[in-house]
């Protein structure tokens, strides 16, 4: 009885081994469907079969088949020229030449998979339809997806890890997509350059759930990155490091944030540098949250916009506009304008811990409609260019850090309030109305300052130092008001009137 059991086990093991076949291309090669072109004779079509394409025996995929591992030997050729599928349940290893001018490489199953070999691979369409998000396809070699169509790279279920290798999906109108849920993820990590024409994380059934970008990587978005929420799924782009460039210029939309009214979908950066050369569009809601060491730049020689809008006029936008380090690096007088598209009430502050406007750049704060008690919350402001405030804007302007630089402030009729509890540096202007409200702190001039109308020291100390405080405009004096408990120290050069 014991012998019988052992024999039965051996038979089962042998039967299992028989199911796993490695086919080698032979007899001068030909079509995949031709059994005579494989050794052993047969047509590979099982997720337990492996194929090896040998030099001198090229294979053309002329139908849709399933396979486990695919190996293309050095000097060997594999061709796909029709709209057929190769369902891959194992690894893809390209040591020869793979020519995809059509067709679909569809990675499936629950096993960890890799795309590698000595040579890069250019697929036509590349799909991930794994069993679960945690099932990973890891790139061990550069990959290009060449189809000029939406969904050229379609990560429905599973995670594609670039693993320090370059990924290119940059044919005109090509896009990276998903299935609308959070079952798909693109993980750009450990270096390498990723170039994508359109990145679709939209509020539709084609939106990719999650994109993560890590240190050492470079990501180039050629046209548009769309992020939204589909059903109950908040789509996010999480950036912990690297360089992300949105390269479309001017009024072309770099980043579009869509429905619904929450701040859980969008771009969340804790590191890295993000540069926009074109326009950011937020509709109803969405977040740009760049905290920690993250730097956000608006650059280039063409004027662009940071739009807040809705599908219809009126209503409230629940948006998050938070920057640790915001830099306006436009050149030649080009501007970035923060503006509404329609009567949109912003139910959140525009926050920048550091705001830098370079020489030659213009930052325009247009007529925005902030909800009551909302406005601009700024830390350190360095203005070497031009900051222009629309007089009709209804938000407040609060600065808790330094205000320095040799640029121009066109304040209109708006009040700038210096807040916080520390003593900070102040230079530049001209301010229209300026209030110092810093209990236990204050403002010390480190350069000349102009206040066109009223300077109010409501809390803390205002000290001119060895610089000139100019009050008023040509022919009209401004005023200084010092509240009880506050102080105004005019030493050194002192102050005068414009004109």
**In DSSP terms, which residues pair with 433 in a beta bridge?**
415
According to DSSP, residue 371 is labeled P
Between 252 and 75, whose confidence is greater? 75
Residue reference for tokens 């209990």: 439
Q: How far apart are CA 155 and CA 153, in angstroms?
A: 6
Closest of 181, 182, 69, 189 to residue 117, by C-alpha: 69
Q: d(Cα 177, Cα 197) in Å, to the nearest integer? A: 12
pLDDT tens-digit map of 117-156: 999 999 999 999 999 999 999 999 999 999 999 999 999 9
Total Cβ atoms within 10 A of residue 494: 11
pLDDT at 498: 53
pLDDT value for 368: 73
Average pLDDT, whole number, for the chain?
91
Whole-number Å distance between alpha carbons of 346 and 94: 53
Using CA atoms, how far apart are residues 479 and 127, in angstroms rounded to an integer? Answer: 68
Tell me how crowded residue 490 is: count the other CB atoms within 10 A of its CB.
14
Neighbours of 311 (CB within 10 A): 10
Residues 6+ apart with CB under 8 A from 338: 305, 306, 308, 350, 363, 364, 365, 366, 368
- Summarised one tens digit per residue, pLDDT across range 220-229 is 999 999 999 8
- Position 315 scores a pLDDT of 60
- Nearest Cα to 462, choosing from 440, 480, 485, 436? 436
Q: Which pLDDT score is estimated for 451?
A: 96
- Residue 470 three-state SS: strand
> Given a cut of 70, is residue 492 above it in pLDDT?
no
State the pLDDT confidence band at 268, using cuts at 50, 70 and 90: very high
**Total residue length of the chain:** 499
Using CA of residue 376, residue 305, residue 288, residue 326, what is the dihedral sign?
negative
Q: What phi, psi does 165 have (nearest 5°)? A: -110, 160
* Span 15-19, average pLDDT: 50
Q: Which residues contact 82 (CB under 8 A, 6 or more apart)?
A: 61, 62, 102, 103
pLDDT of residue 474: 79
Strand, coil or helix: what is 43? coil
Contact 383, 358 (CB under 8 A): no
């Amino acid at each position: 009885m014991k012998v019988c059991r052992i024999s039965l086990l051996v038979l089962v093991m042998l039967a299992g081994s028989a199911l796993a076949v490695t086919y080698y291309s032979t007899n001068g090669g030909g079509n995949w469907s031709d059994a005579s072109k494989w050794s052993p004779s047969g047509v590979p079509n099982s997720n337990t079969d492996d194929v090896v394409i040998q030099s001198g025996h090229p294979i053309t995929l002329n139908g849709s088949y399933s396979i486990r591992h695919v190996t293309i030997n050095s000097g060997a050729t594999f061709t796909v020229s029709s709209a057929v599928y190769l369902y891959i349940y194992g690894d893809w290893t390209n040591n020869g030449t793979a020519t995809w001018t059509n067709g679909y490489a569809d990675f499936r199953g629950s096993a960890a998979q890799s795309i590698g070999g000595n040579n890069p691979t250019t697929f036509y369409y590349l799909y991930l339809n794994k069993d679960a998000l945690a099932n990973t396809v890891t790139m061990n070699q550069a990959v290009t997806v060449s189809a000029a169509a939406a969904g050229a790279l379609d990560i429905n279920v599973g995670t594609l890890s670039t693993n320090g290798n370059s990924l290119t999906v940059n044919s005109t109108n090509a896009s990276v997509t998903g299935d609308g849920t959070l079952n798909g993820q693109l993980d750009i990590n450990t270096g390498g350059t990723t170039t994508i024409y359109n990145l679709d994380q939209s509020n539709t059934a084609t939106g990719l759930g999650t994109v993560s970008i890590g240190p050492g990587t470079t990501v180039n978005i050629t046209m548009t990155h769309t992020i939204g929420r589909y059903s109950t799924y908040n789509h996010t782009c999480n950036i912990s490091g690297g360089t992300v460039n949105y390269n479309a210029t001017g009024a072309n939309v770099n980043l579009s944030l869509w429905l619904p009214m929450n701040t859980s979908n969008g771009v969340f950066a804790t590191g890295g540098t993000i540069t926009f050369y074109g326009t950011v569009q937020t509709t109803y809601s969405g977040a740009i949250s760049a905290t920690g060491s993250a730097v956000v730049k608006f650059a280039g020689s063409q004027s662009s916009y940071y739009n807040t809008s809705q599908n219809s006029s009126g209503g409230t936008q629940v948006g998050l506009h938070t920057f640790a380090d915001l830099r306006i690096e436009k050149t030649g007088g080009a501007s970035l304008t923060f503006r509404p598209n329609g009567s949109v009430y912003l139910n959140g502050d525009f926050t920048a811990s550091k705001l830098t406007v370079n020489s030659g750049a213009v930052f325009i704060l247009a007529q925005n409609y902030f909800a009551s008690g909302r406005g601009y919350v700024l830390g350190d402001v360095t203005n070497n260019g031009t900051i222009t405030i629309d007089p009709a804007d209804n938000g407040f302007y609060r600065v808790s850090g330094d205000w320095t630089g040799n640029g121009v402030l066109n304040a209109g009729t708006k009040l700038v309030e210096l807040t916080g509890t520390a003593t900070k540096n102040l230079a530049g202007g001209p301010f229209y109305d300026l209030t110092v409200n810093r209990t236990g702190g204050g403002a010390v001039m480190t350069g000349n300052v102009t206040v066109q109308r009223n300077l109010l020291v409501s809390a803390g100390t205002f000290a001119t130092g060895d610089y000139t405080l100019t009050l008023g405009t040509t022919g009209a004096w401004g005023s200084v008001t010092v509240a009880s408990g506050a102080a105004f120290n005019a030493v050194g050069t002192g102050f005068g009137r414009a004109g």
